[in-house]
Chain A
Amino acid sequence: MLLDAEPALLPSRILMAFTLGSHILLVPLGVALPTFTLIMEGIGIFRKDATAIKIARRWSVVMAVQFAVGAVTGTILSFEFGILWPKMLGRFGAAFGLGFSIEGLGFFLEAIFISIYLYGWRRLSPRLHFLAGLALPPAGLLGAFGVLAANSWMNTPGGVTIEPNGALDVDVWAALFTRALTYEFWHFTVAIYLTAGFVVAAIYAVAWLRGRRDHYQRLGFAVPFTVAAALAPVEVLVGDLSARALTSDQPAKFAAMEVTWRTQAYNPEVIGGLMDPSGNVHLGIPVPWLDSLLVGYSPTTIIRGLASFAADARPSTVEANLTHLAFDLMVGLGTAAALLTVWYFWTLIRHRRLPDSRWFYRVAALAGVGAYVSVEAGWVTTEVGRQPWIVYGAMRVSDAVTNAPAAFVWTLLATLAVVYVVIAAFFVTLLLRLAARWRREDVATAGGVKAPEEGVPYGPPR
């Protein structure tokens, strides 16, 4: 064997980060868009609003294309667990796989009900079509639950006992519902709806800025934006609870998030900044006592620092800085979203109408991008902050990695990078073309208009 103990560690980590970081961008719309579509369809049915039906029908198309792309990137991920981290699955597959088994059921249900929903626009009565669609939100949530249960298990592994002969005894219930799931599930589920709402609304905010101000634009903006705006303050609270839980569940991760080096009371909250290898923070803005106050509601609360962990049991300096900056970015964007909520509801309640300032719609359009950025930032916080562990406290990433030579994994990484560019090009081009086609149809007079769902993946044939 080579002297280098884990030759493929670096490319494997980059590959996993790249593919997961891409897949996670598909999750918010994948899980939450069906809900928004059903709300829109419900408005259409109960208020006899043809425009709402039209919007729902178009959103269902985006839903299907998204799902098809997600099915490809998701399948790649399931293979990567074997290609890159075979020893982690070999040791802990029985516990880690429980959530994924449940996710498999959700995946099946989504695949079939998305098809039924698309085919059903022409084949089912409106009421029956709406009822069939009701299967989609729970199916998406089931999938999200499964994946979050597996990720939570990596952060706070539980429900497993190692028997004298080395076999793994699994308590299904305890392994599925680990401590981290309580906050990870709510934090990410709210993030999913919040992000999907801001992203969809952003498209109609841009339409407003371009001068489209009709019933179609107002509906398309107001429904998702109202949901997202209502959730933004909730997410601040849930996020706060998550961070506080980490002080006991994963103190090293928490120390990295706050770049706390020495264990101490009166710990400052450092905004931005970078930590050097000896624990000094540069360029940051320290707010005295704030971290201690936020964690224990008292400045005397003691915060455990990174220095109190063995060097091979805590994130490296680079990883700690990455975790810290990602965390700050997420918190900053989350706070900004909560302020946007205040602006929106102030206008809505005070003036009983949607905002009509250009600045509001500019910010609303940016909120779509900001939401995606904060999903990525939150994911970096939890994954990089867990390093060097793949299963917290039980298995290091370097012990899980494949025996394949590094060159093999680098080649796979290069290949997948090219394929992802092709997939992204397809995805974006298709969405832009659909948008252009729908705009043309809205401008053109009635007649000779194709159904939105024709000729898309999972949709009826042309």
Chain B
Amino acid sequence: MSLSIPNLAAGTLLLAVTAYSVAGGVDFGAGIWDLIAGPGERGRRARELIDHAMAPVWEVNNVWLAFAIVVCWTAFPPLFQAVFLNLYPLFTLALIGLILRGAFFAFRHIAENPREHRAADLVFGISSVLTPFFFAACLGAIASGRVTTGPPPSVWEMCISPMSISFGLVSVAATAWSGAVFLVGDARRAAPDLVDYFRSRALWATGILIAVGTVALAAILFERPQLLAAMFTTPALVFVLAVMVLTPAAAILIWRRVFRWYRLLTVAGVGSLVVAWGVAQAPYLLPGRLTIDQAASSQPALILVLAVAAAVVLVVGPAFGLLIYLDQRTGLESPES
């Protein structure tokens, strides 16, 4: 792959999707654990911690998603048109999940009586499962090579396939995993009694992710063997191996209670998962139908997109560092009330 301008723009799009998967994934994962925390004192404590961990970044991850969408339609308009014409049911379900989640996470903070509160919890939890499922199902449908550049012959055939379903399941497992891992960290800061609670969940999630991941590989072999072959040749192989090494490595650290690097390894693992798919699919945006060069906008528009992406990295990076620094300092304060 050369460093041509269209390739750089495609890389930007992939990185934006990856950033959303990583940052949003931790958030969705927390929502999944909220859903299955169950009643009783322990469940209540777990939900409190999840609330505490999520409240400050409520909906801020949408920034990545909106950015990925804008990069897609500006840099690769035909891709944007094709995926939305073909996969609109999946995108719509993901969108509805996304906003129900945001709305009811907010709403449960102002719910007056326990019944309203429970209802809000339920909507929030269920949509935390559905949103990552449907977003990843879109990627699975794209990777399966079914998406055409014209209007679809059958939308349902387009949306429902072994690959879209298995990608969705991998995404749910991966978000549950990264959510639990980060909640281990939050518990260490704010609720030490819950560290083991989330430790065991993180380990279970690792096992499920490995199992579901294997199923997904089988689905790819069945539906699009070319993609599987590409995944096991360089450069995609590097990222596939990274997933296969990093996932158990993080689990071992958590199992052995070595509370260092485990979050970084998890982030790198989830990130590699997404990048592995993107790199294996290159140079195609729609496998077998639309390449990066075919879909790319004219050079000046791509350059503007790259300039904006560079500005995001240069300006937002340091600012984000400052924010994390301030957050950590607040976190170290003894609770006031």
**Whole-angstrom CA separation of A75 from B303 in the bound complex:** 24
| Cβ contacts under 8 Å, B308 to chain A | 101-102, 104-105
Chain A residues with CB under 8 Å of B304's CB are 98, 101-102, 172
Q: Which residue of B lies closest to A423 (CB)?
A: B103
Q: Interface 1/0s, chain A 96-121, versus B by CB < 8 A?
A: 11101111110111011101100110
Contact for B66 among A87, A90, A107, CB less than 8 A: A107
Closest to B104 in A: A422
A426 to B110, Cβ gap below 8 A?
yes
- The interface residues of chain A lying within 8 Å CB-to-CB of B312 are 104-105, 108
Mask for A39-82, Cβ within 8 A of B = 1, else 0?
00000000000000000000000000000100110111011011
> Nearest A residue to B306 by beta-carbon distance?
A101
* Complex-state Cα separation, A416 to B98, whole angstroms: 12
**B69 part of interface (Cβ distance < 8 Å):** yes
Question: Which of A168, A423, A455 has a CB less than 8 Å from the CB of B297?
Answer: A168
- Distance, CA A72 to CA B81, complexed state (A): 23
Chain B residues in 8 Å Cβ range of A416: 96, 99
Per the bound structure, the CA–CA distance linking A81 and B303 in Å amounts to: 23
Once the chains bind, are B60 and A104 in contact (CB under 8 Å)? no
Task: Establish whether residues A168 and B298, one from each chain, have CB atoms under 8 Å apart when the complex forms.
Answer: yes
Complex CA–CA separation, A44 to B322 (angstroms) = 25
Cβ of B114 within 8 Å of any chain A Cβ, yes or no, is: no
Q: What are the residues of chain B within 8 A of A419 when measuring CB–CB?
A: 96, 99-100, 103
Q: Pick from A347-355, A362-370, A401-409 the stretch touching chain B.
A: A401-409
Q: Which one of A101, A403, A425 has the highest number of Cβ atoms from chain B below 10 Å of its Cβ?
A: A101
In the complex the two chains form, is B330's CB within 8 Å of A123's CB?
yes
Cβ–Cβ < 8 Å partners of B322 in chain A: 116
Shortest Cβ gap from A164 to chain B (Å): 14
A457, B55: Cβ atoms closer than 8 Å: yes
Is the beta-carbon distance between A71 and B63 smaller than 8 angstroms? yes
Confirm or deny: B300 has a beta carbon within 8 angstroms of a beta carbon on chain A: yes
Query: Which residues from A are CB-within-8-Å of B80?
Result: 82, 86, 89-90, 93
* Contact yes or no, B74 A71, CB < 8 A: no
Q: How big is the A interface, by class? A: 35 or more
Is B277 among interface residues, defined by CB-CB distance under 8 A? no
B59 contacts A72, CB within 8 Å?
yes
- Kindly supply a per-residue 1/0 record for chain B positions 51-63, scoring 1 wherever the CB is within 8 Å of any chain A CB and 0 otherwise: 0100111111011
B300 touches A112 (CB 8 A): no
A162 to chain B minimum Cβ distance, whole angstroms, is 11
The reply to whether B77 and A78 form a contact with Cβ atoms under 8 Å apart is no
Smallest CB separation, A62 vs chain B (Å): 15
Chain B's nearest CB lies how many Å from the CB of A12?
A: 11
Check: B36 CB closer than 8 A to any chain A CB: no
- Contact-residue size bin, chain B (C-beta under 8 Å from the other chain): 35 or more
**Most chain-A Cβ atoms within 10 A of its Cβ — which of B60, B65, B77?**
B77
Within the complex, what minimum Cβ distance (angstroms) separates B92 from chain A?
6
B259 contacts A by Cβ under 8 Å? no
Contact B56 A82 (CB under 8 A): no
Contact of B85 among A111, A402, A415, A426 (CB under 8 A): A402
Question: Contact flags (1/0) for A207-238 with B, using CB distance below 8 Å?
Answer: 00000000000000000000000000000000
Rounded to whole angstroms, the CA-CA distance of A109 and B329 in the bound complex is 21
**Within 8 Å CB of A17, what residues of B?**
none
User: Chain B 37-77 against A: per-residue CB contact (8 Å), 1 yes, 0 no?
Assistant: 00000000000000010011111101101110111011111
Can you name the residue of chain A whose Cβ is closest to the Cβ of B53?
A: A461
A97 B89 Cβ-Cβ under 8 A = no
Which residue on chain A has the smallest CB distance to residue B67? A104
Q: Which residue in chain A gives the minimum CB-CB distance to B149?
A: A90
Q: Does B60 contact A71, Cβ atoms closer than 8 Å?
A: yes
B70 in complex: contacting residue of A101, A116, A412, A433, CB < 8 Å: A101
A167 nearest in chain B by CB position: B298
Residue of A with least CB distance to B304? A172
Question: CB of A91 within 8 A of chain B?
Answer: yes
Once A74-B66, A461-B56 are accepted as A-B contacts, the answer to whether A119 and B327 lie under 8 Å apart by CB is yes
Q: Does B337 contact A (CB under 8 A)?
A: yes
Answer whether A91 and B102 are a contact pair too, CB < 8 Å, given A71-B60, A430-B110, A458-B56. no
- B71 to chain A: which residues have CB within 8 Å? 101, 104
Question: Do the beta carbons of B319 and A71 come within 8 Å of each other?
Answer: no
Closest to A405 in B: B155
A35 CB, nearest partner CB in chain B, Å: 19
When the two chains form the complex, which single residue of A76, A104, A426 contacts B106, counting CB atoms closer than 8 Å?
A426
Q: Which residues of B contact A98 (CB under 8 A)?
A: 74, 301, 304
A94 to chain B, nearest CB (A): 3
The answer, among B58, B151, B297, for a CB contact under 8 Å with A68, is B58
B316/A408 in contact, CB under 8 A: no
List, in ascending order, chain B residues with CB within 8 A of A415's CB: 96
A119, B107: Cα distance in complex, Å: 23
Q: A112 near B77 (CB under 8 angstroms)? A: no
Q: In the complex, how many angstroms separate the beta carbon of A224 from the nearest chain B beta carbon? A: 26
Task: Verify A119–B78 contact, CB threshold 8 A.
Answer: no
* B62 partner, pick from A75, A81, A103, beta carbons under 8 A: A75
List 7 A-B pairs, Cβ < 8 Å: A72-B59, A78-B69, A86-B85, A93-B81, A103-B70, A170-B297, A458-B60
Q: Given A68-B59, A423-B99, 14 more contacts at CB 8 Å?
A: A72-B62, A81-B69, A86-B80, A94-B77, A101-B70, A105-B315, A108-B63, A108-B315, A111-B60, A111-B63, A112-B319, A415-B96, A433-B110, A462-B337
Residues of A within 8 A of B (CB): 68, 71-72, 74-76, 78-79, 81-83, 86-87, 89-98, 100-105, 107-109, 111-113, 115-116, 119-120, 122-124, 135, 167-172, 402-404, 408, 412, 415-416, 419, 422-423, 425-426, 429-430, 433, 455, 457-462
